[in-house]
């Protein structure tokens, strides 16, 4: 069964077919720029354009940079406000004519890192944090995702943490690595005080330059860069889509009525 993973990011919508057993892309990924404004209709079309590059496929996982509950997008911190309460899984599924699961972008990246990357074989509480346009978080207990933690919005120095410590803040304020690492350190100390994870995994584009800032951090918790880098979201989305059979976040196209879409039965998952 071919499963596509598609990652909606601040600057690009990227996708590829994924081998969900090995955690690898089976074809080169295809990318289109994220539409601006990033409203629902335009982004659904961008996702369809990416999916259209890959011939036949049976199921799709899509990441979204906000809270996603039962396939509905609940927040839109860094995308167009039309995503607030949008029935995303249904909209993608109707457009693509296949079952689609939608989950938070950091959760997807974490799923991939925990299954195949830096968090493999780790027990206990593991936290993935992505530093990009915002700060994304994904929390795992013994490998099981606790979705939609949104710890990037903790308060830091009286502000939303992602406004102070995201990679965008570093770029916009032209911060030195030392200065930015100081803010990241304050943030991580706050998170470790609240949750005492066993391991932090850091992802997002800036994790490729981990040698410039990870050694500057003085925190108690072991911290490692993500290993799947750009592809973590795509892989995690596809793995989730594969597992979503029967979960409400995955919208099924009814087999006897092609093109007619209804929410699948089931309880958990998103």
Q: How far is the CB of 3 from ligand BGC (least distance, A)?
A: 22
Residue 47: both structure tokens together: 């996702």
Pick from 119, 28, 101: which is nearest to 251 by CA?
A: 101
Q: Binding pattern to ligand BGC, positions 228-247, x when CB under 6 A?
A: --------------------
CA angle centred on 121, ends 118 and 126, rounded to 5°: 65
In the list 17, 23, 61, 65, the residue contacting ligand BGC (rule: CB under 6 A) is 65
Interface with ligand BGC, residue 152, by CB under 6 A: yes
With beta carbons less than 8 A apart as the criterion, state whether 165 and 157 touch: no
Q: How far is the CB of 5 from ligand BGC (least distance, A)?
A: 16
> Binding segment for ligand BGC among 60-68, 209-217, 227-235, 240-248 (CB under 6 A)?
60-68
> Can you say how many angstroms the Cα of residue 84 is from the centroid of all Cα atoms in its chain?
17
With beta carbons less than 8 A apart as the criterion, state whether 197 and 126 touch: yes
Q: How far is it, in rounded angstroms, from Cα 263 to Cα 47?
A: 20
In the region spanning residues 93 to 112, those forming contacts with ligand BGC, defined by CB under 6 A, are 104-106
Interface with ligand BGC, residue 73, by CB under 6 A: no
In the list 150, 151, 161, 251, the residue contacting ligand BGC (rule: CB under 6 A) is 150
In the list 113, 162, 167, 242, the residue contacting ligand BGC (rule: CB under 6 A) is 162
In the list 15, 17, 61, 66, the residue contacting ligand BGC (rule: CB under 6 A) is 66
Q: How far is the CB of 202 from ligand BGC (least distance, A)?
A: 13
The sheet that has 223-225: what strands, in order across it? 144-146, 135-141, 125-131, 199-203, 223-225
In the region spanning residues 110 to 139, those forming contacts with ligand BGC, defined by CB under 6 A, are 130, 132-134, 136
Question: Which residue is at the shortest CB distance from ligand BGC?
Answer: 134
Q: Applying CB under 6 A, which residues contact ligand BGC?
A: 65-67, 75, 77-78, 104-106, 130, 132-134, 136, 150, 152, 162
């Amino acid at each position: 069964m071919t499963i596509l993973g598609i990652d909606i990011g601040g600057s690009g919508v990227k996708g590829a077919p994924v081998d969900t057993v090995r955690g690898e892309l089976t074809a080169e990924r295809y990318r289109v720029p994220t539409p601006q404004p990033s409203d629902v209709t335009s982004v659904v079309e961008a996702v369809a354009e990416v999916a259209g590059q890959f011939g036949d496929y049976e199921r799709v996982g899509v990441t979204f940079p906000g809270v996603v509950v039962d396939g509905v997008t609940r927040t839109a911190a860094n995308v167009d406000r039309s995503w607030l309460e949008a029935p995303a899984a249904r909209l993608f599924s109707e457009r693509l004519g296949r079952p689609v699961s939608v989950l938070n972008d950091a959760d997807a990246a974490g799923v991939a890192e925990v299954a195949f990357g830096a968090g493999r074989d780790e027990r206990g509480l593991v936290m993935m944090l992505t530093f990009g346009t915002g700060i994304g978080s994904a929390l795992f207990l013994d490998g099981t995702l606790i979705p939609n933690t949104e710890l990037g919005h903790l308060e830091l120095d009286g502000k939303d943490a992602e406004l102070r410590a995201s990679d965008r803040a570093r770029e916009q304020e032209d911060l030195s690595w030392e200065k930015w690492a100081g803010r990241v350190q304050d943030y991580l100390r706050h998170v470790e005080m609240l949750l005492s994870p066993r391991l932090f995994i850091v992802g997002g584009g800036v994790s490729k330059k981990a040698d410039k800032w990870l050694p500057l951090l003085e925190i108690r918790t072991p911290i490692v860069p993500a290993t799947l880098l750009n592809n973590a979201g795509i892989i995690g989305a596809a793995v989730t889509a594969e597992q979503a059979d029967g979960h409400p976040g995955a919208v099924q196209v009814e087999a006897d009525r092609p093109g007619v879409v209804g929410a699948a039965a089931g309880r958990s998952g998103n």
